């Protein structure tokens, strides 16, 4: 039983580290190689690199708030939620595997952005997509990790509701 716990913990730490590591390596490369607001076309003008330092939250929400509010809302609250998420991930027994993986993506991405905010004072965003009909905001790998985690939880939720409805 103890060996299973060690394997589980090792897998979770590996998943968290990969999410955080990929995000931080990509941001370091972007910080060193791309100038602020430099526009680099990767796939025509559909996928571009555009380095932006985001002092707000998702899509720069809150970047105009006074510093103390940004500190509390964009650093303090995420720190509490990520701490609880890590506790939940490692100490909650009988979590489904899909939920554990989803939480690793969510927490790993969250830690990546929080680390940037604490160490650099802003989050480095650098990817942008234009799908003709709509465009994304500028985002990073931590944001992708968070969205993958949300997607996994959403799919799991829909599947569990479908199974529940079929058994009724």
Residue 63 designated active-site: no
Residue 60, classified by CB atoms within 10 Å of its CB into exposed (0-12), middle (13-18) or buried (19+), is middle
Residue 36 designated active-site: no
The residue annotated as part of the active site, out of 36, 45, 130, 143, is 143
The residue annotated as part of the active site, out of 23, 63, 125, 168, is 125
Q: What is the 3-state secondary structure of the chain?
A: CHHHHHHHHHHHHHHHHHHHHHHHHHHHHHHHHCCCCCEEEEECCCEEEEEEEECCCHHHCCCCCCHHHHHHHHHHHHHHHHHHHHHHHHHCCCCCHHHHHHHHHHHHHHHHHHHHHHHHCCEEEEEEEECCCCECCCECHHHHHHHHHHHHHHHHHHHHHHHHHHHC
What residues are labeled active site?
Answer: 125, 143
């Amino acid at each position: 039983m103890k060996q299973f716990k060690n394997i589980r913990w090792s897998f979770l730490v590996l998943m968290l580290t990969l999410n955080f590591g990929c995000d931080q390596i990509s941001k370091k490369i972007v910080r060193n190689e791309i100038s602020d607001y430099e526009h680099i076309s990767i796939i025509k003008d559909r996928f571009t690199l555009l380095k932006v330092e985001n002092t707000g939250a998702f899509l720069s929400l809150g970047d105009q708030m006074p510093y103390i509010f940004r500190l509390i809302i964009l650093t303090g609250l995420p720190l509490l939620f990520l701490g609880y998420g890590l506790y939940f991930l490692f100490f909650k027994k009988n979590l489904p595997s899909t939920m554990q993986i989803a939480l690793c993506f969510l927490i790993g991405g969250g830690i990546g952005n929080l680390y940037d905010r604490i160490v650099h004072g802003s989050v480095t965003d650098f990817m942008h997509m234009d799908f003709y009909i709509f465009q994304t905001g500028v985002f990073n790998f931590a944001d992708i990790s968070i969205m993958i985690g949300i997607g996994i939880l959403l799919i799991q939720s829909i599947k569990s509701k479908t199974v529940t409805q079929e058994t009724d």
